[in-house]
Structure 1
Amino acid sequence: MSRVSDKVRSPCVSVCALDENDTCIGCQRTGDEILRWTSMTNEQRREVLRKVAEREKKVSL
């Protein structure tokens, strides 16, 4: 049984604005990823976080 505390937490930093690529400038998730976050499994959330990390690398270049 999964507890709430076991869920992968959202990367939201309360800076919510989508850029021209439909990516949030605060958390680097796409609009679709943000909308689906609450219904995702922990594994799906981890995959989104991997993608977020890649997007963050590109932004910092």
Structure 2
Amino acid sequence: MSEEELSRFIKKVKDLNDLVKSLEKIPSRKALLASCKNHKEVIILAKSWGYNIGRRWGDE
């Protein structure tokens, strides 16, 4: 894993952890997340909250 890939990986994990913490602070988000029918909907919803979790860390 290159340094750049490692940085992307760490950033994605941070964004995912921050998203989970936001569910505790804003409980209504849990229902919105649960209502997503597929991965794409989760990515779009998370992005609307400011979390960029769609790109896989190894992708260009």
Please tell me whether Structure 1 or Structure 2 has the larger radius of gyration of its CA atoms: 2
More helix by share: 2
**Same fold by TM-score greater than 0.5:** no
Could you tell me the TM-score, scaled by structure 2's length?
A: 0.37
Q: 1 or 2 for the larger relative contact order (CA 8 Å, sep ≥6)? A: 2
State the TM-score, normalized to the length of structure 1.
0.36
